[in-house]
Amino acid sequence: MAKLFQNLAAVTLSAAALVSAGCGGGGGSDVERFRVSGTVTFKGEPIPAGTVTFEPNVTKGNKGPFGYATITNGKFDTSSVKGTVGGPHFVRIEGTDGKVTPDKPQGSRLFNAHRVEVDLPKSNSEQKFEVPASAAEGMQADGPPV
C-alpha cells in the first residue's frame, strides 16, 4: 500500500510541475499553441498507455508552455490541454502495458523514458514516434515510470 501512495505522490508531483511550467514557463496564455496528435509505437506495436510531454527547447531559442498528452492504444492528442507551441522541442515518451493493479496504478513500464528532439511546425500537426527496442535496455523491472 505504501508503494501505491509513493507512485501516486510521484504522479501528482509530476503533474504539478507540468502545470507550473505550462502556466509560467516563458509565454503564458498569449502564446499561440497548436494541436499535436499522432501515434507512438514500441518495437513496431502501439504503446497501450503512457504519456508524451513536449518541452520547448530553450537552447534553440524556443520558449513557451509545455504540452502534454496521454497515450491510449498507441494514439495521443494534445487538444485537451491546449496543445503546445511550435518550434524545436524535446519530446519525452513514457509507456506502460496499461494493466492497472493496486501496486501499479499506471501499469508496468515497457521501457525507460525515451527522449527525442523534434522541430514542430507552427500549425496543427500529426506526428509519429517510434520508441526503439534499445529504450528497454538496463531497465529496472518494478519501478514507476521514470
For residue 18 the three cell numbers come to: 507540468
**CATH superfamily entry for domain 2-136:** Immunoglobulins (2.60.40.10)
What are the helix (H) ranges across 25-75? none
CB 55 within 8 A of CB 11: no
**pLDDT for the residue numbered 28:** 55
The full set of domain ranges for the chain reads 2-136
Which amino acid is it at 52? V
**pLDDT for the residue numbered 32:** 93
Give the DSSP letter of residue 81.
G
3-state secondary structure of 53: strand
**pLDDT for the residue numbered 67:** 95
* Residuewise pLDDT in 10s, the chain (146 residues): 444 434 433 443 344 444 444 443 445 567 899 999 999 999 999 999 999 999 999 999 999 999 999 999 999 999 988 899 999 999 999 999 999 999 998 899 999 999 999 999 999 999 999 999 999 998 866 554 44
**pLDDT for the residue numbered 66:** 93
**pLDDT for the residue numbered 133:** 95
**pLDDT for the residue numbered 91:** 98
Tell which residue, 123, 111, 140, has the closest CA to residue 40.
111
